[in-house]
């Protein structure tokens, strides 16, 4: 870095003359992958001041992209002569999968090329994979114990699980999270597991484990808290809050970037996804209001699905639109965080005082 600084900025001004930098970049004296070299030239071509900021160069070399840098790239995009990522040949199985993920998730060709060239196998997208495996193991264990694989909630012993959220046990804080490991039956588990692997894994590959796990868990927490406020007598099971947060965020991102998204059959897939998600909500509504067995009490609520979708459209959409940008530097991110904390505090006070003040008749906990 010191050699590079002395070569490009001998007077230590913090800026690099466009002529010197262009000559260096065009002669390939910088050891960069093609995507980074392409973006450096775009930055130079879009420059109006005759110099390039040295700090932005360092951020690029360290695989960081500031919003001002991305704007410079966008301004210079029209002057670039580059190949489309789909034209890349001789790729291995992993790189072909990475290219597929890039076109499924990212709406901009520059972002797709950036992700394709900087993507690494390590760390793998472990959050969604491990979560799905744990959910399957838990379901199989309860299926064997109850000898029932569909509509397990009709078994009284199902609600005795320490993982299920039940309003009579709402003082046990872990239940607001742990209910995501329990499922009504094979139909709900299959739907959630399929979406977690088909949508959650590609999202985690592109945006990282921290952002996607945060979005998923925000949907899960919002789901149980919303049920405790709006459907106060009902229990909650299933990871639908987190799943709907991921799916709603991805679908909203596709709609808002419709022209840029190059995934095949996107309209047909969008319709199919909406039909499947609506059908799952309809199944949950039917189950909630179906006549309960005297021994089982009210059936699980469907409000977790809807609250998860709200989290996805708000928080999730901002996360997906901020690829390679820092969330903490965006005002809208802090507005969302403040709103979520406000909702969390309101839900806590509601769970402490509202049940007794409203005289809600909670079914006896199992």
Query: Mind telling me the catalytic residues?
Result: 240, 305
SS3 state at 15: strand
What 3-state DSSP class applies to 53?
Answer: strand
Distance CA 158, CA 293 (A): 13
Please classify residue 5 by burial: count the beta carbons closer than 10 Å to its beta carbon, then call 0-12 exposed, 13-18 middle and 19+ buried. middle
Considering only CA atoms, which of 54, 87, 84 is closest in space to residue 69? Answer: 54
Residue 17 parent element (H or E): strand 15-17
Please give the structure tokens belonging to residue 8: 């490009």
Neighbours of 196 (CB within 10 A): 24
Handedness of CA 346, 347, 351, 352 (dihedral sign): negative
Is 274 in contact with 339 (CB distance < 8 Å)? no
Query: CA 178, CA 181: separation in Å to the nearest integer?
Result: 6
Please report, for residues 62, 139, 216, 218, 224, the alpha-carbon distance to residue 150 in angstroms, rounded to integers and kept in the order given.
51, 11, 25, 28, 22
Strand partners, 236: 165
Q: Residue 304's closest CA among 288, 318, 316?
A: 288
Question: How distant is the alpha carbon of residue 89 from its chain centre?
Answer: 30
**In the 8-state DSSP scheme, what is residue 10?**
T
Q: Which two tokens stand for residue 255?
A: 């709609």
Residue 51 is classified by DSSP as E
Helix ranges restricted to H, 290-327: 303-311, 317-320
Q: Are 182 and 138 in contact (CB under 8 A)?
A: yes
Burial class from Cβ neighbours inside 10 Å (0-12, 13-18, 19+) for residue 120 reads exposed
């Amino acid at each position: 870095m010191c050699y590079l600084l002395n070569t490009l900025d001998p007077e230590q001004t913090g800026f690099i003359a466009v002529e010197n930098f262009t000559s260096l970049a065009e002669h390939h004296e910088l050891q960069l992958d093609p995507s980074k070299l392409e973006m450096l030239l775009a930055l130079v071509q879009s420059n109006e001041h005759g110099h390039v900021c040295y700090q932005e160069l360092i951020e690029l070399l360290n695989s960081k992209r500031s919003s001002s840098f991305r704007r410079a790239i966008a301004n210079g995009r029209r002057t670039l002569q580059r190949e489309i990522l789909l034209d890349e040949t001789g790729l291995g199985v992993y790189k072909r999968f990475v290219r597929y993920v890039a076109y499924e998730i990212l709406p901009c060709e520059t972002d797709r090329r950036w992700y394709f060239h900087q993507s690494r196998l390590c760390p793998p997208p472990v959050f969604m994979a491990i979560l799905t495996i744990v959910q399957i193991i838990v379901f199989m264990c309860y299926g064997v114990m109850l000898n029932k694989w569909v509509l397990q909630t009709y078994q009284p012993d199902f609600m005795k699980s320490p993982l299920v959220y039940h309003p009579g046990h709402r003082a046990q804080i872990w239940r607001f999270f742990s209910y995501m490991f329990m499922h009504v039956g094979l139909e709900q588990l299959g739907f959630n597991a399929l979406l977690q692997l088909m949508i959650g894994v590609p999202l985690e590959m592109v945006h990282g484990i921290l952002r996607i796990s945060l979005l998923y868990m925000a949907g899960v927490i919002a789901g149980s808290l919303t049920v405790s406020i709006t459907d106060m007598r009902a229990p909650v099971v299933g990871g639908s809050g987190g799943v709907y947060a991921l799916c709603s965020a991805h679908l909203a991102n596709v709609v808002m970037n419709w022209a840029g998204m190059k995934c095949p059959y996107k309209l047909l897939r969008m319709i199919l996804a909406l039909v499947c998600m609506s059908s799952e909500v309809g199944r949950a509504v039917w189950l909630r209001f179906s006549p309960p067995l005297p021994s089982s009490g009210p059936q699980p609520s469907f409000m977790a699905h809807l609250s998860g979708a709200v989290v996805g459209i708000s928080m999730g959409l901002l996360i997906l639109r901020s690829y390679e940008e820092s969330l903490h530097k965006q005002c809208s991110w802090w507005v969302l965080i403040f709103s979520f904390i406000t909702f969390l505090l309101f839900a806590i006070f509601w769970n402490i005082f509202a049940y007794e003040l409203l005289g809600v008749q909670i079914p006896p906990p199992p």
